[in-house]
Amino acid sequence: MEKTIKDGVESLMDYIMKNCLWQFNSRTWDRVEQNKNILEKATQIMCAEEVSKDTPSERYYWAEAQQMVESFLETFPWIKTMNATEIKEMMAGLKKRLDYQTITGSLNKELDDPNY
Amino acid sequence: MSYHEFDCSKCIPERVKHAVDKNPGEELSDALPLGYLNTIPGSLSERGCAYCGAKHVIGTPMKDVIHISHGPIGCTYDTWQTKRYISDNDNFQLKYTFATDMKEKNIIFGAEKILKANIIEAFKAFPKIKRMTIYQTCASALIGDDIEAVAQDVMDEMPDVDIFVCNSPGFAGPSQSGGHHKINIAWVNKKVGQVEPKITSDHVINYVGEYNIQGDQEVMVDYFKRMGLQVLSTFTGNGSYDELRSMHRADLNVLECARSAEYICNELRKRYGIPRMDIDGCGFEPLSSSLRKIGLFFGIEDRANAIIEAETKRWKPELDWYKERLQGKKVCLWPGGSKLWHWAHAIHAEMGLEVVSVYTKFGHQGDMEKGISRCEVGALAIDDPNELESVEAMYKLKPDLIITGKRPGEVAKKIRVPYLNAHAYHNGPYKGYEGWVRFARDIYNAVYSPIHQLAFVDISKDEIATDQSFVTRQMLSDGKLSADVVNSTVLHEYTGEFDSLKRLRNAKYPEFPLQGKLAAV
């Protein structure tokens, strides 16, 4: 299962980098918020947990996450065979990869500009 | 990814970090082109100036406004009618451009008097237009003319007019992008919040970063209206000055061109709590995902799904006709700032094209992150190449087509590589489902035009066959296709109208009565 989770992380990472735009807002603080909130809500959706959508920003994060999860399930049907623990482990791994590529390991020098 | 050194730029070592080859197994954290830096002396950048970015890209698409440049005539003339941001009020902002025509004597003695006289003259010449934008240029900035004070004088004397002053002279940034930033921030600081709009829907959006090139905005607004959304304002294509003053009342900012307009979206998010949702209006899959997530936000995804199903059913067979014939054709995707990432994955997946290079004229490193992520391994990504680098890249990569602006496009034509206009389009609109098929058709017509074979014939020495007629595009494109594809009764060429906007401008939309503010979904 460990190999499957690692492969799963790579597949989802490739999908996000190719198809999504939310992870590329232009400042470090913004990318930290985007990655955290959208992946958190995506995990909740995939684990059939309650998702908060009370404020406009929560509703936005949820909409991005919901659309992405629908595409995940269509493109990667193997996700449906995973249980909640495996999904959470995979999504945690995905967040780590995404945070590295888009934030901590990013060569984009504008990310640390304090203003927009 | 490794940095790519052009042979012609060996003498400019700073250029090496502005181009990257996307190699197998490498990631964005390995190498990323630099971007949005001051022009390297000797590099002969082809970028525009900050005045152009503010006025020509963002300001002038506003349709019910007199746009006047305070400076020499060349600034305004060179940014007039070179971008097809049409409007549904008979293209007022395309037909007319205004300038104070500063001369040398004004540099010495100042030009505030002629500015005031020109403003009043312009309003009197067009008495139905009550809004104006004034753009500072290098000349008026250097002599320190106080344009704000002059504009306020006129507004005091003529209380029914409103004037927006944009201080973005050409030298204010390394490229057009500096101007985008300045006008975004100036508009949200000075104008947003001044008008209270009439709300007609439970679901209200601003459509941001869309400039209605050949009707793109009208295509997308048609989808939004079919979903029952109220498009409070469009920043700024086919946009109205006063609608743009009411941006603060939207529930969601739908952002198309993040390069030019993420700044105002981020300020609206910070000041008014309006979320920013980045979308792709090009390509069947990206557009469908975008409509669906807008629908999800408002709890009306069923309406989005209905549009996606109907449009896909109508246009997919025609897109697939072109895809069969464009498989494997090599393309250099060389636009200005955001189309490298709006188009790279979609033209590969949905038209079968191989994107061998992406570039950005004035984009930032963020655009390169998106573009490199979306293109395939093997592509060459370049930031702001000069003409010599572009030519070297074309000779090396041997593309079948360049999709770029009109300036580098002319260079491509000279070495007999077909070119399509990525900024103003050839036969757009290119957004939407039908638009994407129109784009595929233009690509097909460019790649398979018989002129490209004829252009290489030298009648002074080549043998000219006299027993063959001219070939057609379809003879060139269908030669290696299977009989099933050639004879398909399902796939067919584009069958839309020459002017695809006519029916949109006369369209009637379903009524969705107001039910009160959106409840939690």
Give residue-wise pLDDT tens across range B7-48: 999 999 999 999 999 999 999 999 999 999 999 998 989 999
Contact call for A110 and B366, based on CB within 8 A: yes
A62 contacts on B by Cβ (under 8 Å): 296, 521
A57 contacts on B by Cβ (under 8 Å): 273, 275
Which among A18, A71, A100 has the least Cβ separation from residue B345?
A: A18
On average, the pLDDT of chain B sits at 95
The Cα–Cα gap between B216 and B210 comes to: 8
Q: In this prediction, what percent of chain B has a pLDDT beyond 90? A: 88
pLDDT of res. B521: 41
Contact call for B275 and A60, based on CB within 8 A: yes
pLDDT of res. B406: 87
Does B52 reach chain A within 8 Å, measured CB to CB? no
For residue A111, being part of any structural domain is answered with no
Which among A25, A71, A106 has the least Cβ separation from residue B29?
A: A106
Which among A30, A64, A100 has the least Cβ separation from residue B29?
A: A100
Cβ contacts from A onto B, under 8 A = 98
B27 contacts on A by Cβ (under 8 Å): 101
Contact call for A106 and B369, based on CB within 8 A: yes
Contact call for B374 and A57, based on CB within 8 A: no
For residue A99, being part of any structural domain is answered with yes
In terms of CA atoms, which chain A residue is nearest residue B274? A56
For residue A42, being part of any structural domain is answered with yes
- The pLDDT tens digits of the residues spanning B113-161 come to 999 999 999 999 999 999 999 999 999 999 999 999 999 999 999 999 9
Nearest-CA distance B202 → chain A (Å): 14
In terms of CA atoms, which chain B residue is nearest residue A99? B29
Within 10 A of B372 (CB to CB), how many other CB atoms are there? 24
The residue ranges of DSSP E strands in B152-264, in sequence order, are 162-166, 204-210, 230-236, 252-255
pLDDT of res. B458: 85
Using 50, 70 and 90 to split pLDDT, how confident is the model at B519?
very low
Residue B501 φ/ψ, nearest 5 degrees: -90, -20
Lowest mean pLDDT among A52-61, B71-80, B196-205: B71-80
Which helix (H) or strand (E) element contains residue B43? none
For residue A78, being part of any structural domain is answered with yes
For range B347-353, the mean pLDDT: 97
pLDDT of res. B9: 95
- The pLDDT tens digits of the residues spanning B159-217 come to 999 999 999 999 999 999 999 999 999 999 999 999 999 999 999 999 999 999 999 99
The residue among B222, B202, B203 whose CA lies nearest residue B212 is B222
For residue A114, being part of any structural domain is answered with no
Contact call for B262 and A26, based on CB within 8 A: yes
Q: In this prediction, what percent of chain B has a pLDDT beyond 70? A: 99
Residue, of A59 and A1, whose pLDDT is higher: A59
Does B345 reach chain A within 8 Å, measured CB to CB? yes
Cα B385 to Cα B79, B331, B400: the distances in Å are 22, 17, 19
Does B273 reach chain A within 8 Å, measured CB to CB? yes
The Cα–Cα gap between B18 and B272 comes to: 37
- The pLDDT tens digits of the residues spanning B259-290 come to 999 999 999 999 999 999 999 999 999 999 99
- Residue spans of alpha helices (H) in B31-160: 50-51, 73-77, 92-95, 104-109, 112-125, 138-143, 147-157
Does A57 reach chain B within 8 Å, measured CB to CB? yes
Contact call for A110 and B28, based on CB within 8 A: no
Distance between alpha carbon B64 and the CA centroid of its chain, in Å?
20
A54 contacts on B by Cβ (under 8 Å): 520
Q: What number is the ipTM of this complex?
A: 0.96
Q: What is the number of structural domains in chain A? A: 1
Structural domain for A66, as ranges = 2-106
Does A59 reach chain B within 8 Å, measured CB to CB? yes
Nearest-CA distance A1 → chain B (Å): 24
In terms of CA atoms, which chain A residue is nearest residue B300? A63
List of domains in chain B: 50-190 (3.40.50.1980)
Q: Over 50: is that where the pLDDT of B485 sits? A: yes
Contact between A87 and A47 (Cβ < 8 Å) = yes
In terms of CA atoms, which chain A residue is nearest residue B290? A67
The residue among B206, B204, B342 whose CA lies nearest residue B267 is B206
Which among A17, A26, A100 has the least Cβ separation from residue B373?
A: A17
Contact between A108 and B366 (Cβ < 8 Å) = yes
Which among A19, A63, A102 has the least Cβ separation from residue B297?
A: A63
For residue A116, being part of any structural domain is answered with no
In terms of CA atoms, which chain A residue is nearest residue B254? A60
For range A46-68, the mean pLDDT: 97
Using 50, 70 and 90 to split pLDDT, how confident is the model at A4?
confident
Does B520 reach chain A within 8 Å, measured CB to CB? yes
Using 50, 70 and 90 to split pLDDT, how confident is the model at A61?
very high
A102 contacts on B by Cβ (under 8 Å): 28, 369
For range B89-100, the mean pLDDT: 95
A25 contacts on B by Cβ (under 8 Å): 262, 276
The Cα–Cα gap between B514 and B299 comes to: 14
For residue A115, being part of any structural domain is answered with no
Does A63 reach chain B within 8 Å, measured CB to CB? yes
For residue A18, being part of any structural domain is answered with yes
Contact call for A19 and B365, based on CB within 8 A: no
Using 50, 70 and 90 to split pLDDT, how confident is the model at B452?
confident
Which among B277, B366, B520 has the least Cβ separation from residue A54?
A: B520
Nearest-CA distance B150 → chain A (Å): 30
Residue, of B63 and B480, whose pLDDT is higher: B63
